[in-house]
Structure 1
Amino acid sequence: MKLIIVESPTKARTIEGFLDKEYQVTSSYGHVRDLPRGNIGVDVDEGTFEPKYVIPTKVRKRVTQLKKLAQKADRIILATDEDREGEAIAWHLIQALELPEDKVDRIVFHEITKDAIQHALAHPRSINTGLVDAQQARRVLDRLVGYKLSPFLWKKIANRLSAGRVQSVAVRLIVDRENEVRAFTSEKYWTIEAVFSDFEAALIKVGDEAFPKPGMKDKKEAEHIVHILKKSDFTVACVVRKQKHRSPLPPFITSTLQQEASRRLWFSARQTMRIAQKLYERGLITYMRTDSTNISKESLQAARAWIKKELGSTYALPEPRVFKKKSRLAQEAHEAIRPTNPSSVPQSMGGKVIPKLEEREVKLYDLIWRRFIASQLPQALFNQISVDIIAVSDNNEYTLRATGRSTQFDGFLKIWEQKISTNELPPLSDGDKLTLNQVRADEHETEPPPRYNEASLIKVLEEYGIGRPSTYAPIISVIQERNYVERDERRRFQPTEIGEIVNNMLTEHFSQIVDISFTANMEENLDDISQGKKEWKKIIAAFYDPFARNLEKKYEEVEKREFIQKDKETDEKCEKCGKPMVIKMSRFGKFIACTGFPECRNTKSYLDESNTFGDCSDCEDGKIIRRKTKKGRFFYGCSNYPDCEFASWKKPGSEEEEPEEKPEEEVEKPT
């Protein structure tokens, strides 16, 4: 018997369906060894940084079962995922199950299809120690930062706070953007538009000087120009026709899939990866953690065959479109995220229903399929016309411009829906006289830089080189779970008060931890380790030794009052013991507590006036406040909860509900 071990039962069932009875496929249910939960689990005292792995209690029974199966097998084949995490799981299985090396094969594949599995079985390899070392280095780095820095935050700020190596940089980006928003001063400006019979034109030049961008800041001057133009004659001076094209985007990599699923489907990064994992394990898409846009020759041929058959030869490219590597470290052996079978058309395109797929899985598969097929379709072609119009008045010349665009050939847009503005102009020629209907000065206001949402945060993390395909979703989840950031009504991130306090502390006293360049450089070090170019323990030592010395120094230097205001007195008296109540800070933000602590443990919610929305109509005593469910959806409830159970999705005075977060399970009711 040949035993194949994978991570998940679903993956095991899919693979087993492709093989004969000679093989038994089972799953480890994820990692079988990890660092201990009760202590740091890394040898820092001797400076070896050797991890002290343990088999967690919850998987000991499974490890025993796997050992028994392995003893009965002639060969043990480790078929965990092909990335660092998967390689580490395979290595840990060898250690935990005490497998003899001469009985073990390692196979990898980036899609779960019969051909891919058979090809992998025919080409086994040994464990890639570079990938294992890179995973160990990341795990140890994160453990050292978390276990050493978090107690410092407990002592200097508030109990049970935590610090993370990469997550702290993400929080800093959000705090920096929030500071930009606060510092921004809005300014009014005016643009000038002329309305003709069936089109509009914007003023672009006064005399020889270009009209200022984004517009004119002097309202009176803008109104003066409007007054002049109302009395002017308008003549077409120049008509320019051009053909423009737009190319399709590459097939998805992890970051772009998360961004597009956020924009189009409102999925969080974590949801996207969970759903993609299910699609992968069902054999419907290729591996979903990748930074390569490479596509196999066979899948390109299959896509071209489908395009030619279903859309016609007009839409079939003479040669496959190849995309450049987005990352310098993208591995060409890996592929982009694509459907394993392009002929498995989604329902929205008239395809058959894929059995046992949930609604969200159908939507994500549809997105992946369309993006892949679109990447092998021709460019979209547009006819663009630009018309310059001259108005002469008061010995000055005013130039206005109108632009129009119409679609000549839809190309990839036939499959990939994209918002592209098209507006056609009437037939116009040089010298045509135009009749003015209206001219106006439109008022605008400059806007602050936008807060990050999930899509834009992932994009900027990728641009800075922070994180890798496997880490974007965990980064975004953790910073919210730790209450360092929250999302506003438009699902954009903003820091919480405690998030800003922790960020300010780290920025001032542990600048490396939140330094973008340092974090990006560490990611490159991990990449070099994975390729066998650097030794992982030396990288850890180079980071840890100065970090530990600085931490020891900061315990002596930093005073708690630097970052946390002294408890603020209130006018309230404790209803239980009569002592004064004060405003205190915790990892969840401000709260009101009795000064009789620990004898009296009475606490109350702190009501921030900016977060209250009038009196509660049910109990007539509490205030309506904006709160958040465990799954991230905002609702409005009474400050006297649990004594008053009023709760609503609707903001008081509004008929619109807060948007759903669309979690894996049903959205819970506000409680």
Structure 2
Amino acid sequence: MKNLVIVESPAKAKTISKFLGKDYKVMASMGHVRDLPKSKLGFDPENNFEPKYLISTDKKKVISDLKKEITKDTTIYLAADEDREGEAIAWHLIPALKIEKNPIKRIVFHEITKGAILEAINNPREVDQHLVDAQQARRILDRAVGYELSPLLWKKVRYGLSAGRVQSVAVKIIVDRENEIREFVPEEFWKIKADFINPELKSELAKIDGKAKKVKNEQEAKEIETSINQGKFELFDIEEKESNRNPAAPFTTSTLQQEASRKLGLSVRQTMVIAQQLYEGNVGNIPNHTGGLITYMRTDSLNLSKVATSAAKEVIENEYGKEYALAKPRVYRSKAKGAQEAHEAIRPVNMALKPSDIKSYVEPAQFKLYSLIWKRTLATQMAPAKIANTTYKISAGKDKEYEFQSKGQRIIFPGFMKAYTEGSDNPEAVLDSSEKILPTIKVGTVLDLEKLDLEQNFTKPPARYTEASLVKKLESEGIGRPSTYAPTISTIQQREYVTKTEDKKLAPTPTGEIVNSFLVDHFPHIVDLGFTAKVEEDFDEIAEGKIAWQQVMQHFYGDFKKTINEKEESVNKEDYLQIREIGTDPKSGKPISARVGRFGPFVQIGTKDDEEKPQFVAIPDHLNMDTITLDEALFLFTLPRVVGQTQEGEDIKANIGRFGPYLQVKTKFYSLKQDDPYTIEFPRALEVIKEIDEAKAKALIKEFPEEKIQVLIGQYGPYIKQGRKNFKIPKSVEAEDLTLEQTLEIIAKDPKSKTAAKKTAAKKTAAKKTTTKRTTRKKSTAKTTTKK
């Protein structure tokens, strides 16, 4: 092949291949092809932090397939994404494919359209080593933290834990907020509201003696009520102000994630997956459109190109009228730390392509996200909204010492609000775009009171973070970059350091809290927001060529490694056992404690030093190990409980195990998905058992009881089940016709089975023996020849 274009994903390859002629082949690298080895540190601190990259096991076939298309005359276009990660992917491909002597051209584009691709092909550049080095610094520094800190956590806290540079800071932010909530002491305050009649009007006490003051308690509220009853309500002033409201800036990665969460209910990860599909053109066949639908979705720039603003103006004039358009384009400047202004904001590649034009050809989630981006981009280039704000000021009280206020809002000209208004993270906030018209009343009018409400309130603790508000916090602190927000938030949930509550808020798990405590106590700089932001600034300076990446590593690694070695000796594991004494068991007199184990929090009666083995039970999700009471803990030990008996006289027991709540009848187990094992009644237990038995009967194709083997039909077709292990059935085999011998053979050949493992080991041993014999024979022959 004369020209080989290498992109990151197959979807992108498919789209770009439509724009290039027969002389070009477009293939995908499937992301990074080389990385640091998993089982080693991966770099040499004694040799200027020299990394030791290996081709990833799952990318060996990709490399092999790419090599087949390359000859010494092939021109290779490295077309990975236009960011540091993409630059590193392109750089790694050169040694992995051994193409150092080939003509190599690095091409970049921020949208996948024919014009953008052809322009990139015609304007190649060199691989930017500074960007590569910035990515290398991030990867190696993160490896240092993870590789050195995780084993220390295993020794001093619990096996299987891990630490990450940015992830640990994100966990700390969530833990700090949880501590604020726990320590929060509500303060009482009272609202005093007056409803009037003829005309209807609602108002609220705003000032006392001309100043904004809180009404602290019921006594104060009653005193105000007494004074009000001795006076009258009179409208003494009408304040009217006109104001202009400007639209929010175009989307960056961060603001898109936040708004998609607020308006569409998408997680940060879901937003990025859908945005990637829109960017790559991984959608249906849209008439008169080929390629991607939006520009590159990992950006912190607020820039819009002249082409985009001109196209937006044309659409605005056609859709809404000339009065909604701007004479000059509106320009935004980013306030985000380390923003890369050379890129563009996220916008549609073709403003003329309305959401309604694509609705029938794309997935519902793709349509919703595209609509959000299209409307937001359009709004940025629309005229400001003109709002008339009116405040009625009403005097009250014996000496007119109280001022009540009624506020109204009228939209004089909707401007950008015709297309789009930004969402809010505050569920109690009334949408600013809504109108509230006040009745027409003249100054001096005495108002007829319908009712006076004295309303007790308490201040509320700060809210837990959502995924979106956490992204906002990370960005505002300069922690992470557009490409890191989604993986960071996914990782802390996957590691079970953070959990998502029913209302989609992020709360730390007991494990997350203990890991955070350990890091705060012994590695405060690792979880320090300022330090983490400073490291990001160092990466930016590397990307700009101002400092060498090894310099950043030298500054960090020496002290970090020294601290690791010190903590190996000085930290006492007993300090991080996560044990909370609750009280004493009234029956046995043994201590009851809440603890965190391998499978989460649990309550234990007794200790390991007792003659009898301690009793323990898992703490359900609705209880917290930090707040569980003695009565609640004792109630947990009522499990296992006998709910009733089957017709055969067998006990039906309810319990909680490693995999959650369940019912048990002899050796059969029935998972409880919706029912509480503590409260489930006998009739309901029989229903659950019947439902699960019937479902299992429908799924059962064949059974070989003597071998404890079942042939079942599952979500993805027939399979074999033996104990807790499942085995695939070859497509060439009919599940209904399987004999016991055939079933055992399939199990034996499966890599998961011990039999297969033993056979593989035996084959390897035999192969080694054969090789040894051949080597011995060769040596023997050589000796004989020498003697002759």
Please tell me the TM-score bracket, short chain as reference.
Answer: 0.7 to 0.9
Give how far 1:406 is off.
Answer: 1.4
Render the CA deviation track for 1:313-365: whole Å, top value 9, x for unaligned.
12111111111123353333310001111111113xxx34353x222112111
Q: Is 1:317 aligned with 2:326?
A: yes
| The structure with more radius of gyration | 2
Q: Are 2:401 and 1:397 equivalent residues in the alignment?
A: yes
**2:556 pairs with 539, 543, 557, which one?**
543
How big is the shift at 1:374?
1.2
Is 2:410 aligned against 1:406?
yes
Measured against aligned partners, the alpha-carbon deviations of 1:586-625 in whole angstroms (never above 9, x if no partner) come to 354235899999xx99997523572799999988743689
- Residues 596, 70 of structure 1: alpha-carbon distance in 2 compared, 3 angstrom cutoff: farther
Aligned to 1:434: 447
Distance 1:434 1:596 in 2: 75
Contact 2:5-2:78 within 8 A present in 1 as well: yes
Aligned partner of 1:353: which letter? K
Partner of 1:4: 5
CA deviations on 1:407-432 (whole Å, 9 max, x unpaired) are 11211111114522421111122222
Name the CA distance, whole Å, in 2 between partners of 1:71 and 1:33. 22
Shift, 1:379, TM fit: 1.4
Deviation at 1:643, TM superposition (A): 2.2
What residue in structure 2 maps to residue 39 of structure 1? 40
Asked if 1:277 corresponds to 2:276, the answer is: yes
Q: CA RMSD in A?
A: 3.1
- The 8 Å contact of residues 229 and 439 in structure 1, kept in 2 or not, is answered as no
- The DSSP-based 3-state class of the residue aligned with 1:185 is coil
Q: Deviations over 1:560-588 (max 9, x none)?
A: 0112156989989xxxxxxx999764354
Alignment of 1:622 with 2:654, yes or no, is yes
Shift of 1:231: 3.6
Deviates more, 1:381-390 or 1:162-171: 381-390
In structure 1, how many angstroms separate the alpha carbons of the residues matched to 2:251 and 2:459? Answer: 34
The equivalent position to 1:339 in structure 2, one of 348, 365, 390, is 348
Deviations 1:238-267 (A, max 9, x none): 111111222111110000011111111111
Deviation at 1:191, TM superposition (A): 1.4
In the TM superposition, residue 187 of structure 1 has moved relative to its aligned partner by 2.1
Structure 2 partner of 1:586: 597
Tell me what 2:359 maps to. Answer: 353
Distance in 2 separating the partners of 1:131 and 1:523: 13
Aligned to 1:193: 193
CA change 1:135–1:605 in 2 (3 A) is: farther
Which residue of structure 2 lines up, in the alignment, with residue 512 of structure 1? 525
Structure 2: distance between partners of 1:546 and 1:47: 17
Is the 1:583–1:606 Cα contact (8 Å) retained in structure 2? no
Q: 1:22 is aligned with what amino acid?
A: D
Picking from 444, 451, 456, the partner of 2:464 is: 451
What SS does the aligned partner of 2:53 have?
coil
Alignment match, 1:662: none
Q: CA deviation at 1:376?
A: 1.1
2:135 is the alignment partner of 1:140? no
- Which residue identity is paired with 2:241? K
Residues in 1 aligned to 2:194 and 2:593: alpha-carbon distance in whole angstroms: 61
- Letter paired with 2:597: S
- Counterpart in 2 of 1:264? 263
Instruction: Answer yes or no: is the 8 Å Cα contact 2:152–2:568 preserved in 1.
Output: yes
Q: Quote the Cα distance in structure 2 between the aligned partners of 1:651 and 1:211.
A: 53
CA distance in 2, matches of 1:361, 1:179: 38
State the Cα distance separating 1:646 from its structure 2 match: 1.7
SS at match of 1:647: coil
Q: Distance in 1 between matches of 2:344 and 2:238?
A: 46
**Residue aligning to 2:729:** none
**Does the CA contact (< 8 Å) of 1:296 and 1:335 recur in 2?**
yes
The one-letter code of the counterpart of 1:402 is S
CA contact (8 A) 2:227 2:397 kept: no
Q: What is the identity, as a one-letter code, of the residue corresponding to 1:589?
A: G
Q: 2:671 aligns with which of 636, 645, 649?
A: 645
Change (3 A) 1:254 1:617: farther
Deviates more, 1:546-555 or 1:358-367: 358-367
CA distance in 1, matches of 2:23, 2:182: 66
Q: Secondary structure at the match of 2:449?
A: coil
Amino acid at match of 1:643: F
1:110–1:286: 8 Å Cα contact kept in structure 2? yes
Q: 1:650 to 1:245 in 2, by over 3 A?
A: farther
Matches within 5 A, 1:482-501: 482-501=495-514
The residue aligned with 2:618 is 606
Q: Quick one: which amino acid aligns to residue 670 of structure 2?
A: C
Shift of 1:445: 1.1
**Structure 2 residue aligned with 1:183:** 183
What corresponds to 1:21 in structure 2?
Answer: 22
Which residue is equivalent to 2:534?
A: 521
- Of structures 1 and 2, the one scoring higher in RCO (CA 8 A, sep 6+) is 1
Cα distance in 1, alignment partners of residues 397 and 497 from structure 2: 59
For structure 2, the 5+ residue unaligned runs are: 282-291, 423-430, 625-631, 645-651, 680-714, 716-788
Contact 1:159 1:586 in 2 (8 A): no
CA distance in 1, matches of 2:675, 2:258: 27
Matched residues in 2 for 1:332 and 1:465: separation?
15
How big is the shift at 1:651? 13
Counterpart in the other structure of 1:502: 515
Report the Cα offset of residue 75 of structure 1: 0.9
Closer, same or farther in 2 for the Cα pair 1:596/1:444, shift >3 Å?
A: closer
Q: How does 1:372-391 map to 2 (within 5 A)?
A: 372-391=377-396
Per the normalisation by structure 2, the TM-score is: 0.75
**Contact in 2 for aligned 1:203/1:211 (Cα 8 Å):** no
Hey, what's the Cα distance between the residues in 1 that align with 2:326 and 2:454? 48
1:206 Cα deviation from its structure 2 partner:
2.6
User: Aligned equivalents of 1:199 and 1:304: distance in 2?
Assistant: 42
Matches within 5 A, 1:59-458: 59-71=59-71, 74-100=74-100, 103-197=103-197, 198-208=200-210, 210-212=211-213, 215-282=214-281, 283-327=292-336, 329-347=338-356, 351-353=357-359, 355=361, 357-393=362-398, 395-418=399-422, 419-420=431-432, 421-458=434-471
Letter in 2 for 1:536: W
- How far does the alpha carbon of each residue in 1:25-70 deviate from its partner, in whole angstroms, 9 at most, with x for none? 11111111111112121112x2421110001221112111212212
Give the distance between the partners of 2:207 and 2:236, measured in 1 at CA: 13
Q: Which amino acid in structure 2 is aligned with residue 547 of structure 1?
A: F
- How many angstroms does 1:455 deviate by? 1.1
Equivalent-residue separation in structure 2 for 1:565 and 1:554 (angstroms):
19
Whether the 8 Å contact between 1:570 and 1:583 is mirrored in structure 2 is: no
State the one-letter code of the partner of 1:380: A
Q: Tell me, what secondary structure is at the counterpart of 2:34?
A: coil
Retained in 1: the 8 A contact 2:276–2:297?
A: yes
**d(CA) in 1 for partners of 2:531 and 2:77?**
39
Letter in 1 for 2:325: A
Contact kept? 2:394, 2:403, Cα under 8 Å: yes
Q: Does the 8 Å CA contact 2:663/2:672 hold for their aligned counterparts?
A: no
Counterpart CA distance in 2 for 1:177 and 1:86 is 35
| Deviation of the 1:400 alpha carbon | 1.5
Q: Is the 8 A contact 2:663 2:669 kept in 1?
A: no
How much has 1:434 moved relative to structure 2? 1.6
1:437 Cα deviation after fit: 1.5
| Matches of 2:14 and 2:572, distance apart in 1 | 57
Structure 1: distance between partners of 2:643 and 2:332: 60
Task: Decide whether the 8 Å contact of 1:230 with 1:438 is kept in 2.
Answer: no
**Following the alignment from structure 1 to structure 2, what is the Cα–Cα distance between the partners of residues 352 and 552?**
59
CA shift, 1:440, in A, is 1.9
* C-alpha contact (below 8 Å) 2:607/2:614 kept by paired residues: no
Alignment of 1:543-562 (within 5 A): 543-562=556-575
C-alpha displacement of 1:98: 1.1
Q: Scaled by the length of structure 1, what TM-score is found?
A: 0.88
